[in-house]
């Protein structure tokens, strides 16, 4: 059967300094199909799509939309051509509400000038219901959890009526129950004749949702085929350029008798001070909380174990991490930390993990810049910093052009590797890891998993927050499930399954404590 092309890209080249991000790439999107693009971090997937969306301009090559040669000079021009993009890193205005962000530049009006919030709200609420999203439309985006921000991005693109949707890691912050809802929506959009491009590292999702797949490696498109002609193992081998050999890591029984981290009846409300430094001691207040983000949470993490935290986004996981890392002060309860060195791998690397406009090597010493190894007589020791950074780049297989380039020039996955490398190389006693493999490729994900298990085997305490149930089941010694600010169950991976975890995550059952 002949297919009509919605998008054709021919000979696309793009270079950033010494890095050839795209090298003579050809790509074709058929009308009414879901097309997946896969590849390692830095393979050029996001760069190619940002060129299609007008965020980058190609150094060479041609783009055709519905058979017409076009120059896409900006996202505005892309939207005029019917393209919409949900980027891996959010492009929302933090102080605007979710509703204001969604309708921006397409505001429904009444009396010719006033924003018709009722009409907009009804339209967006219907769209959200179709997707299975629950977004508080009148809440400023900066106050929303990451999952709700991602939902807002998706709603914005669909509200603006795009016929061609580009989604960069769209399920990275979605719980398993939400992923199928998104896939159902994608299938519905496909049935309406829309074309979709999904960039992802999750090969099981590619096999579940895509009609065709393109594999990129080191800036080139090396293969493109119908999904029925391949499988996840073949795709993984094409992505890596070599057979996939799962790492062999022995899990040693080293659990200690005294916890390195303990929470007892910890409560956090919406009135809590988010700016005061945590004093790590018992705190009591008589003020009635407006909303409890954490409701009498009790949990222990021992040396030599990984405790996973499961839950649908927005049920207290983010607030738990903020409390543990000193970003919020509890209302009541007891929080005990035995150990001075804490590593924090944040869920949002752009806001809390890196300094986008600073050099790559400088990002490796954030929080450690006063260490004698890097600073003497209040002067940074550039050679020592660069040696340290180069060693980490090699050890963690991070692709860069030059270590003096701003870290914003790296792909999202390579930025995440910098954060993971910096935090784990500091030899912490307690590791707070929030979605540490989000956006990482196969090799990088396995590497991070191995590093976390090695830390556990060295009697470190690891608290792992993840939306990936497979990751939690694979890494954790115990899994605590959060729902509505409470821990509703603590289970062992060998004694549970995804169905039981899903029921706990939705508050349908209570587990053992």
Question: Could you tell me what percent of the chain has a pLDDT over 90?
Answer: 56
CB-CB contact of 493 with 476 (8 Å): yes
Q: Do domains 5-240 and 261-341+427-505 have the same CATH topology?
A: yes
Average pLDDT over residues 223-227: 96
* pLDDT score for 449: 92
Kindly report which listed range (161-175, 229-243, 315-329, 448-462) carries the lowest average pLDDT score: 161-175
> What tens digit of pLDDT does each residue of 468-511 get?
888 999 999 999 999 999 999 999 999 999 888 988 988 887 76
Q: What is the pLDDT of residue 109?
A: 76
Top-confidence residue, 275 or 177: 177
Q: Is pLDDT of 174 > 80?
A: no
Q: What's the mean per-residue pLDDT of the chain?
A: 87
Q: Between the ranges 22-26, 127-131, 458-462, where is the mean pLDDT highest?
A: 22-26
- The residue ranking higher by pLDDT, 276 or 143, is 143
**What string of H, E and C letters represents the secondary structure of 265-311?**
EEEEECCCCCCCCCCCCCCCCCCCCCCEEEEEEEEEECCCEEEEEEC
- pLDDT at 323 exceeding the cut of 50: yes
Question: What is the side-by-side strand order in the sheet with 342-345?
Answer: 342-345, 430-434, 461-465, 305-310, 478-483, 486-491
**Which pLDDT score is estimated for 288?**
45
| φ, ψ dihedrals at 493, nearest 5° | -55, -40
Report the pLDDT value the prediction gives residue 283, as an integer from 0 to 100.
Answer: 40
> Residue 247: what pLDDT?
63
pLDDT in tens, 399-436: 888 899 999 988 888 898 899 999 988 889 999 999 99
Q: How confident is the model at residue 63 (pLDDT cuts 50, 70, 90)?
A: very high
Class (C level, CATH) for 261-341+427-505: alpha beta
Tell me what the mean pLDDT of segment 242-254 comes to.
Answer: 69
Mean per-residue pLDDT for 79-102? 90
Given a cut of 60, whether residue 272 has pLDDT beyond it is no
DSSP 8-state secondary structure symbol assigned to residue 249: -
Fold of 5-240: Rossmann fold (3.40.50)
Strand order in the sheet with 68-70: 19-30, 5-16, 60-65, 68-70
Residue 409 has what pLDDT?
87
Q: Which residue has the higher pLDDT, 341 or 33?
A: 33
- Spans of all domains in the chain: 5-240, 261-341+427-505
Cβ atoms of residues 296 and 360 within 8 Å: no
Nearest to 212 by CA among 199, 201, 200, 228: 228
Instruction: Count Cβ atoms within 10 A of the Cβ of residue 361 and give its class: 0-12 exposed, 13-18 middle, 19 or more buried.
Output: buried
Is the distance from CB of 426 to CB of 371 less than 8 angstroms?
A: no
- pLDDT score at 436: 92
pLDDT band, very low/low/confident/very high, at 112 (cuts 50, 70, 90)? low
Residue pair 460/259 in contact (Cβ under 8 Å)? The answer is no
């Amino acid at each position: 059967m002949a297919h009509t092309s919605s998008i054709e890209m021919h000979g696309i080249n793009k270079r950033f300094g010494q890095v050839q991000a795209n090298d003579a790439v050809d790509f074709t999107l058929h009308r009414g199909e879901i097309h997946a693009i896969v590849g390692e971090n830095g393979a050029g997937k996001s760069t190619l799509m940002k060129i299609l969306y007008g965020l980058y301009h190609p150094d060479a090559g041609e783009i055709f939309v519905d058979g017409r040669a076009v120059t896409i000079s900006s996202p505005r021009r892309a939207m005029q051509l019917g393209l919409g993009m949900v980027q891996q890193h959010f492009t929302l205005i933090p102080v605007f509400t979710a509703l204001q962000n969604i309708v921006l530049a397409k505001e429904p009006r009444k009396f010719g000038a006033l924003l018709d919030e009722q009409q907009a709200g009804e339209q967006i609420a219907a769209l959200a219901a179709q997707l299975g999203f629950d977004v508080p439309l009148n809440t400023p985006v900066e106050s929303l959890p990451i999952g709700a921000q991602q939902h807002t991005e998706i709603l914005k693109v669909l509200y603006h009526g795009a016929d061609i949707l580009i989604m960069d890691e769209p399920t990275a912050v979605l719980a398993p129950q939400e992923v199928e809802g998104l896939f159902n929506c994608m299938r519905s959009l496909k049935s309406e004749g829309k074309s979709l491009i999904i960039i992802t590292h999750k090969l099981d999702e590619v096999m579940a949702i895509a009609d065709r797949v393109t594999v990129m490696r080191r800036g080139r498109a090396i293969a493109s085929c119908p999904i029925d002609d391949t499988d996840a193992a073949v795709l993984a081998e094409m992505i890596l350029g070599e057979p996939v050999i799962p790492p062999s890591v022995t899990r040693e029984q080293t659990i200690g008798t005294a916890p390195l981290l303990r929470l007892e009846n910890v409560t956090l409300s919406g009135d809590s001070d988010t700016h005061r430094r945590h004093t790590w001691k018992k705190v009591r207040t008589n003020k009635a909380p407006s909303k409890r983000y954490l409701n009498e949470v009790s949990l222990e993490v021992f040396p030599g174990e990984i405790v996973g935290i499961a839950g649908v986004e927005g049920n207290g996981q983010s607030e738990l991490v903020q409390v543990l890392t000193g970003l919020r002060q509890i209302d009541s309860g007891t929080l005990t930390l035995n150990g001075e060195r804490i590593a924090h791998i944040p869920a949002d690397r752009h806001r809390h993990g890196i300094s986008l406009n600073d050099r790559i090597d400088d990002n490796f010493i954030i929080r450690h810049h006063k260490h004698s190894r890097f600073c003497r007589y209040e002067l940074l020791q550039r050679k020592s910093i660069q040696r340290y950074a180069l060693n980490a780049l090699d050890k963690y297989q991070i692709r860069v052009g030059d270590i003096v380039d701003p870290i914003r020039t790296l792909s999202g996955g390579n930025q995440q590797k910098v954060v993971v490398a910096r935090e784990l190389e500091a030899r912490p006693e307690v590791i707070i890891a929030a979605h540490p493999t989000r956006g990482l490729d196969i090799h990088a994900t396995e590497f991070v998993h191995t590093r976390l298990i090695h830390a556990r085997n060295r009697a470190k305490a690891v608290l792992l927050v993840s939306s990936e149930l497979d990751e939690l089941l694979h890494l954790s010694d115990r899994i605590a499930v959060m729902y509505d600010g409470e821990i509703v169950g603590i289970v062992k991976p060998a004694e549970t399954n995804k169905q039981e975890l899903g029921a706990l995550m939705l508050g349908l059952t209570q587990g053992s404590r």
